[in-house]
Amino acid sequence: MKVEDVYDRIESEPLGPVWISVVPREVSAARARQQGDGPLAGMTFAIKDNIDLAGLPTTAGCPAYAYRPDRSATVVERLMNAGAIPIGKTNLDQFATGLVGTRSPYGACSSVFDERYISGGSSAGSAVAVARGLVDFALGTDTAGSGRVPAAFNNIVGLKPSRGLLSTRGVVPACRSLDCVSIFARDCDVARRVWDVARGFDAGDPFSRVAGVGQDAAPWLGGAFRFGVPSREHLEFFEDEEAEGLYRKALVELERLGGEKIEIDYSSFRAVAALLYSGPWVAERLSAIREFMDTHADEMNPVVREIIAGARKYSAVDAFEADYKLRQLRRASEVEWQTMDVIVLPTTGAIYTHEAIAREPVKLNTNLGYYTNFVNLLDLAAVAVPAGFRANGLPFGVSLIGPAFADEALLSLADRYARGALVKASAPGCVSVAVVGAHLSGQPLNWQLTERGARLVKTCRTARGYRLYALDGTVPPKPGLVRDAQFEGSGIEVEVWAIPEDRFGGFVAAVPPPLGIGSVTLDSGEVVKCFICEGYAIEGATEITRFGGWRSYLAGRGSRG
């Protein structure tokens, strides 16, 4: 969106409740003229007002707390260096404490679809700015669901990255060990572009980290995937029957796109979610603003003050005991992860009016975190994506949740879901390997792939110009694939598997002579790694190219015997 158009729209209406402050028009216009050719050149963005932008005050939704930073947050600097233009600071639940978007002296944000309903929070203004088309994307934060709930209530995409992938230097902490900078966008492609620029190690952030080799592997993305859903007794829609229907519809669509629905025991995830506000992690919120709260408690939002003040009842012993409980629950959740690749949940079970939130501010906020609060405690990544509308025009959304560093894979799957596309993406963090003989599905060495977490992507054929031989004396029996540039055959049948990068070396080391790993061209023109055979081994070997593949050869040999 052009900078001049953004400011024309902002100046045509009151600043609040979406914006707390804006960059002067002339400053943004000058940046637009000097944007260069970076990957985000000319794109405009909004910044939740607990993230520093040099030149504007950071309020965290509390005027008495405000300070003016000399330097922008690391994530903001990276985006600006890529050509993105910051427009201003957006409204939030004070000190990022809430999922409602109403706990702010700067006004309460509403869903863009009905002003009677809340926008969701705490990143309320950022989500609304994107949903109303005021900016191309926006930054929020997400500790308990603040980057996902407002996305669902405004029908946009909300990415909660893996903890530490986006630096939190220059972010007012909520729960410092759990906080994430989140990204709002109107589609997954923009969210991915922003994420790719914003991520990276920051030595100035003690919680910063990057994925090691293979940690971001998602071998399931290239083929069939398994998605977990809670059993019926653990699903909660808080009397919103339409939300339940839309959730069921989303699951059917994911099955159409190649997913296998797996029912899981959600109890461990639910128990972790309860720890976030009903356990000593709330003490991190007090730690972040203790000195301010000691002297300015009367200038805080009453609900926020009450929540954070509750931290004073917890002791160090409570903190250790809660950590022990979390570790036990994490072990229980790991059992469920053995059966699935992602979890698919309603982003929220219901949406509430401002009036309802005013009557029961804590209870209904807790309801909104039913499907979100556990994610950071279990070190998971998540993408909230639109999933239809209720009859009254209010949106519903689902969240795709995966292990730490699954961000890219989740965005790809979310994009596939949003577009209803059957096209499968390449698997990040993986090596594509074509197998032709004893490693095929159902063959005696296939376990060497599956034990390393490899997943079948497709069955296809090589390009023309390959011959196949039955090798003598190999145990178990194996074929040899040989390239013959002068041969115009129809190609040899292969299976393509995606294997995590960090496990590929061990797989290669187990390959005995005369076989090795080289490259092969598939009938699609794609080049992948593959078993190849040393030339000496085919001297005297039986050529079986006419069978078109190892399985056909085995079947034909068996019929003759």
pTM comes to 0.94
Determine the Cα–Cα distance for residues 23 and 485; give it in Å rounded to an integer: 63
Tell me how far apart the alpha carbons of residues 342 and 250 are, in angstroms, rounded to a whole number: 14
CA distance linking residue 34 with residue 41, whole number of Å: 9
Q: In what order do the strands lie in the sheet with 527-533?
A: 455-461, 493-500, 430-435, 527-533, 515-521
Enumerate residue ranges in the chain where pLDDT < 70. 558-561
Identify the residue whose tokens are 């991190």. Answer: 284
- Cβ atoms within 10 Å, residue 420: 9
Helices 282-296 and 302-309: crossing angle, nearest 10°? 120
Q: Residue 345 and residue 230: Cα distance in Å, rounded?
A: 8
Helix (H) or strand (E) holding 95: none
Q: 3-state class of 434 per DSSP?
A: strand
- Report the C-alpha gap between 279 and 274 in whole angstroms: 8
Strand ranges (E), 169-237: 180-185, 225-230
Angle of helix 3-11 relative to helix 25-33, nearest 10 degrees, comes to 170
Per-residue model confidence (pLDDT) at position 558: 54
Residue type, 124: A
User: Which pLDDT score is estimated for 198?
Assistant: 98
Largest CA distance in the chain: 90
Q: Return the H-helix or E-strand segment holding 414.
A: helix 407-419
Give every CB contact of residue 248 below 8 A, 6+ residues apart in sequence.
none
CA dihedral 312, 315, 316, 321 (to 10 degrees): -120
Of 51, 382, 39, 87, nearest to 197 by C-alpha is 39
The domain made up of 3-200+215-419 has a fold known as Amidase signature (AS) enzymes (3.90.1300)
For residue 278, the model assigns a pLDDT of 78
What residues are annotated to the active site? 48, 122, 146
CB of 22 within 8 A of CB of 88?
yes
Query: How is residue 539 written in tokens?
Result: 């001297």
User: Rounded distance, CA 136 to CA 208, Å?
Assistant: 26
CATH architecture of 430-560: Roll (3.10)
Q: What's the one-letter identity of residue 152?
A: A
Q: Provide the angle, in degrees to the nearest 10, between the axes of the packed helices 407-419 and 241-256.
A: 100
SS (H, E, C) 338-358: CCCCEEEEECCCCCCEHHHHH
**Whole-angstrom Cα distance, residue 60 to residue 54?**
15
The Cα 117–Cα 353 span in angstroms is: 4
Adjacent-strand bridge partners of 157? 185
Distances (CA, A) of 422 to 46, 280, 413: 33, 45, 10
User: What pLDDT is attached to residue 561?
Assistant: 43
Distances (CA, A) of 281 to 162, 241, 268, 304, 318: 19, 33, 18, 15, 10
Q: State the Rg of the chain over Cα.
A: 27
Q: Write down the domain spans for the chain.
A: 3-200+215-419, 430-560
